[in-house]
Structure 1
Amino acid sequence: MHNHLINKTNHFLERAFPEQRLFLRSEEGTRFIRLSPLTQALGWTGSAAFFAWSIIATAVLLMDSIGSGNLRDQAQRDKQLYEQRVQTLSEERDARTSEAIAAQERFNLALSQISEMQSELLASEERRRELETGIGVIQSTLRRTIGERDLAKGSLEEVLAEARENADNATPGATSIASNATLTFMTEELSRTAAERDKVAANAADAEKFAQDMMYEARLREERNDQIFRQLEDAVSISLEPLDKMFSKSGMSVDNILGQIRRGYSGQGGPLTPLILSTSGGAPDADTERANRILGELDRMNLYRIAAQKMPFGMPVKSGFRFTSGFGTRWGRMHNGTDFAAPIGTPIYAPADGVVIHAAWSSGYGRLIKIQHEFGIETRYAHLSRMNVRKGQRVSRGDRIGDIGNSGRSTGPHLHYEVRVGGRPINPMIYIKAARDVF
């Protein structure tokens, strides 16, 4: 049956592949090999298959090489684009840092100017009191002099009346003597009164000149204070604007944050004390209210500065990374954080002050660090290769807490970074983007 099938196949293929004989000659004799149609068909089929496989394999290798070249070029372009973006972000960060330093310098200058202004206001208050006291003394002296003058005038009239009576009753010699004595007394009294009058007039002129000088100095001080106030108000407004935007973009109540900081903050460097000047029982003047408003804004800036250290506005990875996966649904499951891809060993920094509540292995997270911050905020750092902190340790913003790794359920070296508020995960980019105009 088998030979019959082979013979039938040879007969079918004989037209396309007639039987061939291959002669082999040697010293011993000549031999030949018979190539049946089936053998030739199998040989041609095998050769064609090998040739086709060679073509396909070569094409696949060429396509793979071309694709790899394109991927490498794309990766190179992505790397260059990423490096440019990192450089841009670094320049923006340096610019914001310079602005923050300048704002802090303006803040310190404002405090010193307010201190000088407060000293000048207190000195002006003292000079005003001295002026009121001097004017009161001059008025008392003037009233006393007028009284003495009236008394002397009355005494003079009494003496003149007595002299006239004596002149009517006395002899001419005695009358002359009495008249001379009366004239001498009158002359002395008039001279003394005139001297006191001139002295009072001179004191009044001096007091009027002193009052005019004080009024002129007060006007100059008011103009200078107004200019200082305007500069302070502009500096405070420029410094507060990016802080207001940053905290408003965080999604949390700014009033609650500042209120909690104000309640929990005490000791040196606390809220600034408003200016309190004596107003003789009246309402505070415009300058005092204006200065108190500036002090209130400076106090708000100080509270912002404290709160910024306690909220995760900083970047956990500062250089040599790229974002690979954001917050949201991924492959049908919720991705509760943001991934920073970087080589193993890349440093990870705390974005805010807080206390470490977990630093150990955790199932799919691998090596995991959890930090509890103020206002019910918690941050998580997963897939680490190394942890530099322990549970219960207090960390500050910018402290190195660990290194990027590939532990746990991970497809490559990266940091899985989460931010949770009240236990609920939120997008970490909310805080990162909100801080771009400040840090």
Structure 2
Amino acid sequence: MLMRFAYRIHLTLERYFPEQRLFLKSDTETRFIRLRPATQAVAVVVGGLALGWTILATAILAFDSISAGSSRDQVLRQQALYEERMNALSIDRDLRAEEAASAQERFNLALEQVATMQARLLASEDRRRELETGIDVIQNTLRRTIIERDEARAALDQAQNVAANSGPSTEAGRAKDTVETLEFLAESLDGTARERDRMQGVADKAAEQIAQVVQQKREIEQRNDVIFSRLEEALTVSVEPLEKMFNAAGMDPDDLLESVRKGYDGQGGPLAPLSLSTKGAASAEEIRANAILSGLDRMNLYRLAAFKAPFDNPVKGPFRFTSPFGMRQDPKGWGTRMHSGTDFAGAYGTPIHSTADGVVTHAGWASGYGRLVKIQHAFGIETRYGHLAQIRVSVGQKVSRGDRIGDMGNSGRSTGTHLHYEVRIGGNAVNPMTFIKAATNVF
């Protein structure tokens, strides 16, 4: 049975692969090699498998090459888009800075105008008081003149009575006395009338000056209202983004301002209140001016707090984020672990900058971090910069925001060149991107 099956297979193969003979001839003899159908079939199958494997391997290699090229192009495109966004953010930050400087200049100009208007207002207030004093003098003079006129009339009546009762006087004497008395009274009345007319003119002129002063005061108040409105609007535009930035970072603005105010209490502190009124009670303009000055003091404290908190990016050159804050698969294959910072991958030697004002507390090798720099900032905040290639600061050194503190490297427990950046508050690690994103629309 088995022989019959093998025979049938041989006949089938012989139909497609007839027996072949390969002759090998030499000088002395001739030999041949018999190629049976089974041998030919095995050779064809092996050759086909080899050809198929070659085609499959070539296709896999080509696919990998194409995939690697497309991934690299995609990474380059993403990097180009990120660089464009960073450039746009930098331009926006510069525009914000220019707007803040322009607002400061406008505020200084407005303060000068307010001071000038205050001087004019005080001068008009002095003139008004002088006019009021002049009117009082005129009124007292008129009263005194009226009293003197009444006394003169009473004296005239008394003289007439005396003249009428004096019997020994002659008719000529009485007539003469009457004429002299009338002349005296006429002169007195004429003088009183002239004085009254002069005082009335002075009073009319004083009333006109008072009306002018009132009109000038009303115009000054209107100009002050326009200036105060512009200042209040500019102050709101400048302060609101800073408040949103601190709130987005999870920091209480009032607590921050109180801390900064304590630190700068003897070096400027709140601006002194502005007094626009010469009376005891505060005017509406004085209240608005003091509110604006208080808002400017708040904005200045916000600015100081912003430089003391890490609202900046530690890498200014080209980079990409390779690992975020939170749980992740350990790059060394040790399972799922907590990643307490954010990784920035870039070129070896890329400058690393401090993200806020502070003092260096560690500058050297640390287990896992490699070359590490720790900076202590205000409000209990600490930043860490790990895996550096070179450290450019020393312990105890004071640094400002933007100062270069080291170079990006691959030291310590690392799989490639990158910066491991941490932000810690009270010793607890928080997401650094919270601070970086919070400052995106401000700086």
SS of the residue corresponding to residue 312 of structure 2 reads coil
Shift of 1:161: 4.1
SS of the residue corresponding to residue 314 of structure 1 reads coil
Within a 5 Å distance, the mapping from 1:36-435 to structure 2 comes to 44=43, 54-55=54-55, 57-165=57-165, 168-266=167-265, 269-278=268-277, 280-281=279-280, 283-331=281-329, 332-435=336-439
Shift of 1:255: 0.9
Q: Would you say the 8 A contact 2:114–2:224 is kept in 1? A: no
Which one is further off, 331-340 or 94-103? 94-103
RMSD: 3.4
Q: Would you say the 8 A contact 2:152–2:185 is kept in 1? A: no
CA distance in 1, matches of 2:286, 2:383: 44
Q: Would you say the 8 A contact 1:386–1:403 is kept in 2? A: yes
CA distance in 1, matches of 2:107, 2:417: 43
Q: Would you say the 8 A contact 1:19–1:34 is kept in 2? A: no
Report sequence identity in percent: 55
CA distance in 2, matches of 1:323, 1:158: 114
Q: Would you say the 8 A contact 1:163–1:182 is kept in 2? A: no
CA distance in 2, matches of 1:89, 1:22: 80
CA distance in 1, matches of 2:416, 2:160: 124
CA distance in 1, matches of 2:118, 2:69: 72
Question: CA 1:192/1:390 → structure 2, altered by over 3 Å: closer, same or farther?
Answer: same
Shift of 1:78: 2.4
Shift of 1:237: 2.0
Q: Would you say the 8 A contact 2:311–2:355 is kept in 1? A: yes
Amino acid at match of 2:97: T
Within a 5 Å distance, the mapping from 1:17-32 to structure 2 comes to 24-27=24-27, 29-30=28-29, 32=31
Q: Would you say the 8 A contact 1:107–1:236 is kept in 2? A: no
Question: CA 1:397/1:186 → structure 2, altered by over 3 Å: closer, same or farther?
Answer: same
Shift of 1:251: 0.6
Q: Would you say the 8 A contact 2:277–2:286 is kept in 1? A: no
Amino acid at match of 2:246: F
- What's 1:6 paired with? none
Amino acid at match of 2:318: G
Amino acid at match of 2:200: A
Q: Would you say the 8 A contact 1:271–1:302 is kept in 2? A: no
Q: Would you say the 8 A contact 1:106–1:235 is kept in 2? A: no
Question: CA 1:407/1:55 → structure 2, altered by over 3 Å: closer, same or farther?
Answer: same
Gaps of 5+ in 1: 1-13
Q: Would you say the 8 A contact 2:350–2:407 is kept in 1? A: yes
SS of the residue corresponding to residue 289 of structure 1 reads helix
Question: CA 1:176/1:63 → structure 2, altered by over 3 Å: closer, same or farther?
Answer: closer
Q: Would you say the 8 A contact 2:128–2:210 is kept in 1? A: no
| TM-score, normalised relative to structure 1 | 0.83
Shift of 1:26: 4.2
Question: CA 1:148/1:437 → structure 2, altered by over 3 Å: closer, same or farther?
Answer: farther
How many residues were matched structurally?
A: 423
SS of the residue corresponding to residue 276 of structure 1 reads coil
CA distance in 2, matches of 1:46, 1:233: 89
CA distance in 1, matches of 2:199, 2:413: 99
Amino acid at match of 1:199: R
Shift of 1:250: 1.7
SS of the residue corresponding to residue 315 of structure 1 reads coil
CA distance in 1, matches of 2:126, 2:34: 131
Shift of 1:19: 11
Q: Deviations over 1:189-222 (max 9, x none)?
A: 2222222212221222122222222222222222
Question: CA 1:172/1:36 → structure 2, altered by over 3 Å: closer, same or farther?
Answer: closer
Question: CA 1:65/1:280 → structure 2, altered by over 3 Å: closer, same or farther?
Answer: closer
Gaps of 5+ in 2: 1-9, 330-335
Shift of 1:256: 0.8
CA distance in 2, matches of 1:161, 1:389: 114
